[in-house]
Amino acid sequence: MKNYLLKFKTADKSPARNTLEFSFYSGLGGLLAISIIAVLSERTSIPLIMAPFGASCVLAFGVPDSPLAQPRNILGGHLISSLIGVLCYSILGNSWYSLAIGVGLAIFIMQLTQTTHPPAGADPLVIILAGASWKFLINPVLSGSLILVVVALIFNNIHSKRKYPKYWK
């Protein structure tokens, strides 16, 4: 504990503030990604959106160089966490312990598979509370996160100062 506190006290300063241009462009990316997913959901009557995608946009457009924002993490994190959510709901139902086990297992498995994506930690909660079925893994999880990644790939690479993804593995 003492080493942790010492490390905490000597931590580096916060990163530099983002420029107005970077922040505006990040917000525009999130607006575009969610607009596309929401409009496609509306026009096709296929559910392609879920709340954690808003937080995924914060990472994909706001901190696109972060390891947590990479395509593998967005897709893998959402798929793994959602699979765990459906399994927990199927086996344990909607209970406090299925919610807790779902989130804990999602964190554990995402870390083991190097697909950690913090917004995906909410997926088991969404799935269990909604009583979602196995179909939820395709729509909205896989299709929605795939659309989000494609938009992030195109949008982030239009700007000369952004390169996304930072890496694929």
Write the DSSP symbol of residue 140: I
pLDDT at 84: 98
pLDDT at 7: 54
pLDDT at 6: 52
Span of 9-13, 94-98, 123-127 with lowest mean pLDDT: 9-13
pLDDT at 1: 53
pLDDT at 26: 97
> What's CA 16's distance to the chain center, in Å?
24
Could you read off the pLDDT of 65-93 as tens digits, one per residue? 999 999 999 999 999 999 999 999 999 99
Sort residue 93 into left (φ over 0), alpha (ψ -120 to 50) or beta. Answer: left
pLDDT at 14: 83
- Cα–Cα distance, 145 to 53 (Å, whole number): 7
How confident is the prediction for the chain on average, in pLDDT?
A: 94
Per-residue pLDDT, averaged over 113-117, amounts to 98
Alpha helices (H) along 47-161:
52-57, 71-92, 96-112, 123-130, 143-158
Share of the chain above pLDDT 70, in %: 92
Q: Which of 135, 157, 152, 122 is nearest to 36 (CA)?
A: 152
Confidence of residue 160 (pLDDT cuts 50, 70, 90): confident
Verify cis geometry, omega within 30 degrees of 0, for the bond prior to 165.
yes
Q: Which of 84, 96, 163, 168 is nearest to 129 (CA)?
A: 96
Residue 146 has pLDDT above 60, yes or no: yes
Residue 3 has pLDDT above 90, yes or no: no
